[in-house]
C-alpha cells in the first residue's frame, strides 16, 4: 500500500469537540468551507480547518482523514466497458505539478494513478515541486517516495525547483524530466477513474499529432465529494479564460457517447506524444505563472496541422479550488499571456483580445516580452490563419466586425467620471469615478457603425419616466416593450440618440 503510515504524516486534530457546536467566529462562519460541511466540529477544529483551507483552497483538513485509496464511482458512459484496446500500447510518464499542495491530496493523486494505470503502461511518475514552502512536502514527502520506490524501484521521481517557475514552465520541466514515449501533464489534486489510460494511449498511437484531454469530473472543494460533469469540449472566451463547451453537432449526430469529442482548446491537463510536443513547440515559456498557455497550445496545434480531442472513456476527477495558488494578481498574468497569444496567433482578430481586456492596442501599458521566437515557430511550422481556425474549428466563437471603438463611457465634461452599473439591486446606471474594472468593465461598450452592443446588456428608458436601467438587449425589442421603452444609440461624439432626440450622456444620469 502507498504510504500505509499516512496517519503519521498528517496533522493530528480531533474531528469533534467534546461538546456541542458553539457560536463560531464571524470569519469562520462566513467561510464557504462551512456551507455544506463541518457542522459537528468543535470551535478549535473549525479554526484549524479554516486555516488549512486558506492555505490550500480546498478542505485539506478533511482530506487528511480520508483514505488515500478511497474508491470513486465509475462515471464512464456504459459503452466504454465494452471497448477493447490494442495489447501493445506506448508507455506513459505521468507528471504532477504542485506548489504547497496538501500532502494527503498529492498522495491520493499518486495512489490513484498507480492503481488505475496498467503496470506495463506506467513507466514513471514525476513529481515537480515548484519551490513549495510547506514543511510536510519535504522530509515527509521524501519518506513516502522512498516507501513507494521500495516496492516498485524507480517508479516515482521527485524534482524540486530551486526557485518558483510557475505552472507553465513547471510543465515543461516535467516534460524534460520524462522518458516515456507519451507524457501526461496533470495537476496534483486529481483522482483517476478506472480504464482512463488505455483509450488515450490508443488514440495517440493511431495519430501522434493528437493531443488528448480526459473528460473531467469535479471534486468539491469543501466536501471532497465527486460531482459528475456532462461530457464537454473545451474552449475559451476572448480574455482567453478556458471554458467548457457543448460538444459539436457532428459529435451528437453519431449517437455514440463513447466517441472522441473534437475540442477547440484544452482546459489544462492533457496527454501528448513526447516527441511531437517538442516538434510543435512545447508551451510558451515566455508566459508567466499560468493562464492562456492551454488555449495557446490548442490554437497552435490546430493551426499547425494537429488536432485536440476529449475522450469520454477517460475520466479524471479534479478539485476545483476555491482560490488559486501562486499569486494574488493572477488576472494581470493571464492578461499578459493572452496578449502574447493574440500577437502571435490571432492575426486581425487580436483586436478582440484587447477589447475583452478593455485596453488599447497602442501603448497598452502591458509588456508582453519578446515573441519573435514564437512567431518564427509559426512560420517554420507553416501554420494556417486564425480565420481558418475560427471557421473550421471554433465556429461557435462570436466575432465582432465593423467595430469603431470599444471601452468604458466617460463624461466629456468630467473625464474622471464613467458610466457605471450602479447598485445591482435596481439595475440603475450611474456616473462614478473611473476605475476600469467591474462593474464599469462589464458595462463597456463596443460601437459598430453607430450602434452599440455589449453582449446581453443594454441601457433603456421607459417613455413615461426619467429613470434609465440595464436590461437584456432582447427584451426592449420584443413586442411587449416596443411602445413603452426607448433604446439608445451611442455615438463616438459622446452623445446618445433615441430616434430623433439627441441628448448628452450627462443629461441622462
Residue with cell 500532502: 103
Report the pLDDT averaged over residues 208-233: 98
CA 301 to chain centre: 18
Q: Please report the pLDDT score of residue 126 as a whole number.
A: 99
Say which range, 209-213, 276-280, 353-357, 505-509, has the weakest mean pLDDT: 505-509
CA 360 – CA 283 distance, rounded (Å): 27
Q: Please report the pLDDT score of residue 480 as a whole number.
A: 36
Please list the residues that pair with 186 across neighbouring strands.
96
What is the percent of the chain where pLDDT is above 70? 77
Side-chain-side CA neighbours of residue 453 (13 Å): 13
Residue with cell 517557475: 165
Query: What 3-state DSSP class applies to 167?
Result: helix
Report the pLDDT averaged over residues 54-60: 95
Q: Which of 265, 243, 255, 274 is nearest to 309 (CA)?
A: 265
pLDDT(492) > 50: no
DSSP3 helix / strand / coil % (the chain, rounded to 5): 30, 20, 45
Contacts of 230 (CB under 8 A, 6+ apart): none
Report the residue count for the chain.
509
Q: Please report the pLDDT score of residue 411 as a whole number.
A: 73
Cell (9 digits) for 468? 434609465
pLDDT(145) > 60: yes
| Tens-place pLDDT, residues 311-320 | 999 999 999 9
Q: Which of 349, 352, 422 is nearest to 386 (CA)?
A: 349
CA 166 – CA 328 distance, rounded (Å): 13
**Total Cβ atoms within 10 A of residue 77:** 15
CA 43 to chain centre: 34
pLDDT(84) > 90: yes
Do residues 505 and 496 lie in contact, with contact meaning Cβ atoms separated by under 8 Å?
A: yes
Q: Which of 251, 269, 129 is nearest to 187 (CA)?
A: 269
- pLDDT band per the 50, 70, 90 thresholds, residue 483: very low
Query: What 3-state DSSP class applies to 247?
Result: coil
Q: Which of 425, 373, 436, 414 is nearest to 509 (CA)?
A: 414
pLDDT(59) > 80: yes
pLDDT(173) > 50: yes
CA 316 – CA 251 distance, rounded (Å): 21
* Helix locations, 193-349, DSSP H: 197-206, 249-253, 274-280, 293-303, 330-345
Residue with cell 499560468: 290
Report the pLDDT averaged over residues 288-298: 94
Query: What 3-state DSSP class applies to 93?
Result: strand
Say which range, 47-51, 227-231, 421-425, has the weakest mean pLDDT: 421-425
CA 325 – CA 291 distance, rounded (Å): 12
Q: Please report the pLDDT score of residue 460 as a whole number.
A: 58
pLDDT(464) > 60: no
DSSP H or E segment with residue 379: helix 372-381
Q: Please report the pLDDT score of residue 431 as a whole number.
A: 79
Largest CA distance in the chain: 83
CA 89 – CA 318 distance, rounded (Å): 25
Cell (9 digits) for 213? 484531454
pLDDT(266) > 90: yes
CA 245 – CA 182 distance, rounded (Å): 26
* Helix locations, 65-138, DSSP H: 103-116
In the chain, domain spans: 6-63, 91-319, 404-508
Report the pLDDT averaged over residues 196-200: 99
User: Which one is predicted more confidently, 332 or 214?
Assistant: 214
Q: Is the dihedral of CA 167, 169, 173, 179 positive or negative?
A: positive
| Tens-place pLDDT, residues 11-51 | 333 333 333 333 344 355 567 899 989 988 999 999 999 99
- pLDDT band per the 50, 70, 90 thresholds, residue 468: low
Residue with cell 450602434: 451
Say which range, 2-6, 11-15, 335-339, 459-463, has the weakest mean pLDDT: 11-15
Q: Which of 126, 115, 123 is nearest to 68 (CA)?
A: 115
Cell (9 digits) for 481? 416593450
pLDDT(133) > 80: yes
**Total Cβ atoms within 10 A of residue 461:** 19
CA 130 – CA 140 distance, rounded (Å): 17
CATH topology of domain 91-319: Spore Coat Polysaccharide Biosynthesis Protein SpsA; Chain A (3.90.550)
Do residues 185 and 176 lie in contact, with contact meaning Cβ atoms separated by under 8 Å?
A: no
CATH class of 404-508: mainly beta
CA 156 – CA 174 distance, rounded (Å): 13
| Tens-place pLDDT, residues 96-108 | 999 999 999 999 9
- pLDDT band per the 50, 70, 90 thresholds, residue 189: very high
CA 312 to chain centre: 19
Side-chain-side CA neighbours of residue 34 (13 Å): 24
Average pLDDT over the chain reads 84
The phi-psi region of residue 61 (left if phi > 0; otherwise alpha if psi is between -120 and 50; otherwise beta) is: alpha
CA 231 – CA 262 distance, rounded (Å): 12
Amino acid at each position: 500500500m502507498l504510504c500505509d503510515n499516512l496517519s503519521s504524516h498528517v496533522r493530528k486534530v480531533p474531528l469533534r469537540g467534546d461538546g456541542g457546536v458553539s457560536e463560531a467566529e464571524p470569519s469562520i462562519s462566513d467561510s464557504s468551507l462551512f456551507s455544506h460541511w463541518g457542522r459537528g466540529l468543535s470551535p478549535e477544529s473549525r479554526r484549524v480547518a479554516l486555516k488549512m483551507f486558506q492555505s490550500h483552497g480546498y478542505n485539506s483538513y478533511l482530506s487528511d482523514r480520508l483514505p488515500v485509496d478511497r474508491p470513486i464511482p465509475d462515471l464512464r458512459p456504459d459503452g466504454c466497458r465494452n471497448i477493447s484496446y490494442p495489447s501493445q500500447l506506448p508507455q506513459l510518464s505521468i507528471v504532477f505539478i504542485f506548489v504547497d499542495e496538501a500532502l494527503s491530496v498529492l498522495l491520493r493523486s499518486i495512489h490513484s494513478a498507480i492503481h488505475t494505470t496498467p503496470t506495463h503502461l506506467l513507466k514513471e511518475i514525476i513529481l515537480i515541486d515548484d519551490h513549495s514552502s510547506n514543511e510536510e512536502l519535504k522530509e515527509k514527502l521524501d519518506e513516502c517516495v522512498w516507501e513507494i520506490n521500495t516496492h516498485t524501484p524507480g517508479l516515482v521521481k521527485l524534482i524540486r525547483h530551486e526557485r518558483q517557475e510557475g505552472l507553465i514552465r513547471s510543465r515543461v520541466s516535467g516534460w524534460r524530466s520524462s522518458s516515456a514515449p507519451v507524457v501526461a501533464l496533470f495537476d496534483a489534486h486529481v483522482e483517476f477513474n478506472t480504464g482512463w489510460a488505455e483509450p488515450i494511449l490508443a488514440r495517440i498511437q493511431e495519430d501522434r499529432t493528437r493531443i488528448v484531454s480526459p473528460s473531467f469530473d469535479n471534486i468539491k472543494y469543501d466536501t471532497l465529494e465527486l460531482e459528475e460533469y456532462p461530457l464537454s469540449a473545451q474552449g475559451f472566451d476572448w480574455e482567453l479564460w478556458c471554458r467548457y463547451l457543448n460538444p459539436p453537432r457532428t459529435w451528437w449526430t453519431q449517437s455514440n457517447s463513447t466517441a472522441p469529442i473534437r475540442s477547440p482548446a484544452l482546459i489544462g491537463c492533457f496527454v501528448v506524444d513526447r516527441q511531437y510536443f517538442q516538434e510543435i513547440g512545447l508551451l510558451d515559456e515566455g508566459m508567466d505563472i499560468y493562464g492562456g498557455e492551454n488555449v495557446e497550445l490548442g490554437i497552435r496545434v490546430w493551426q499547425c496541422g494537429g488536432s485536440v480531442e476529449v475522450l469520454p472513456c477517460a475520466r479524471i476527477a479534479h478539485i476545483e479550488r476555491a482560490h488559486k495558488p501562486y499569486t494574488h494578481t493572477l488576472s494581470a498574468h493571464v492578461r499578459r499571456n493572452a496578449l502574447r497569444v493574440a500577437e502571435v496567433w490571432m492575426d486581425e482578430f487580436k483586436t478582440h483580445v484587447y477589447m475583452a481586456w478593455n485596453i488599447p492596442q497602442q501603448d497598452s501599458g502591458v509588456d508582453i516580452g519578446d515573441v519573435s521566437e514564437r512567431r518564427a515557430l509559426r512560420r517554420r511550422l507553416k501554420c494556417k490563419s486564425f480565420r481558418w481556425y475560427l471557421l473550421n474549428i471554433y465556429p461557435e466563437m462570436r466575432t465582432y466586425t465593423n467595430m469603431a471603438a470599444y471601452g468604458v463611457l466617460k463624461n466629456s465634461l468630467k473625464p474622471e467620471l464613467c458610466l457605471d452599473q450602479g447598485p445591482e439591486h435596481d439595475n440603475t446606471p450611474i456616473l462614478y469615478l473611473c476605475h476600469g474594472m467591474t462593474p464599469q468593465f462589464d458595462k463597456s461598450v463596443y460601437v459598430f457603425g453607430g450602434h452599440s452592443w455589449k453582449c446581453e446588456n443594454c441601457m433603456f428608458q421607459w417613455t413615461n419616466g426619467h429613470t434609465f436601467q440595464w436590461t437584456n438587449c432582447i427584451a426592449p425589442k420584443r413586442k411587449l416593450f416596443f411602445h413603452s421603452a426607448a433604446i439608445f444609440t451611442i455615438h463616438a461624439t459622446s452623445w446618445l440618440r433615441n430616434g430623433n432626440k439627441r441628448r448628452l450622456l450627462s443629461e441622462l444620469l
